[in-house]
Amino acid sequence: MKSTGTPNLTEIQRTTHVMKLTWLALIGGQLGGAFFLLFYSPPIPQPIPEFAPNITVALCIILAVLIPLGYFIRMQTYKKGWKSHRITPQAYVFANLLLLSLMLAVYLVAIIGAFLTSNHTITLIPAGIALVIQLVNFPTGAPMQMQPPSFIKDQDASAS
C-alpha cells in the first residue's frame, strides 16, 4: 500500500521496526555464515594463499568506490523521497537496503576469499570495514521524523 502525503507515526514506527529486524537479520546472517564457513566447514583440499593479497587489494579498491557511491545513492534516494520535510518510508527502506546490500556484497566476497585462500587475517580486513559501515548505519528512522529547520519554519510563518 503506497502512502500519500505525510507519513503518520504508526507507519514510521512500523517501517523503523521492519528495518531494524532486517538489519539484525543481515548482520546475524553474515556473522553466522562467516563463523560457520571459516571455522566449522571442512578446509578446502588445495587453498590458494598467494591470491590473498590480490583479493584484499581488489576488495579495498571496490570498497573505496562503493562506500561513497552507496552514500551518494542513499542521499539521492532520500532527496527523491523528500515530502513535507521528511523522507517517505519507501525511500527510507530502499535507500538503506541499497547501502546495506552494497556492503553485504563486499563482506561476502571477502569471506569467500578468506575461505578459498585459507588466509583469514589479511582477507578479512575489507570484510571488517564493510561490517563496521553496516553497524554504523543502524536504522533509527530519524530521517522519516525530521522537523523542518528553523529557517524554513520562519519562512512559512512570514508567508502566512
Q: Is 137 helix (H, G, I), strand (E, B) or coil?
A: coil
Mean per-residue pLDDT pooled into runs of 10, the chain (160 residues): 64 92 94 87 84 90 95 94 87 95 92 86 89 94 76 58
Q: Is 93 exposed, middle or buried (0-12, 13-18, 19+ CB in 10 A)?
A: buried
What pLDDT is recorded for position 77?
94
Q: Could you give the angle at which helices 9-35 and 89-117 cross, rounded to 10 degrees?
A: 0
What pLDDT is recorded for position 43?
80
56 within 8 A of 125, measured Cβ to Cβ: yes
What pLDDT is recorded for position 22?
95
d(CA 153, CA 136): 31
Evaluated on CA atoms 119, 122, 127, 132, the torsion sign reads positive
One-letter amino acid at 10 equals T
What pLDDT is recorded for position 155?
55
Residues of the chain by 3-state class (helix, strand, coil), percent to 5: 75, 0, 20
d(CA 150, CA 111): 47
What pLDDT is recorded for position 63?
94
What pLDDT is recorded for position 152?
58
d(CA 20, CA 22): 5
What pLDDT is recorded for position 85?
79
Nearest CA among 59, 76, 35, 28 for reference residue 123: 59
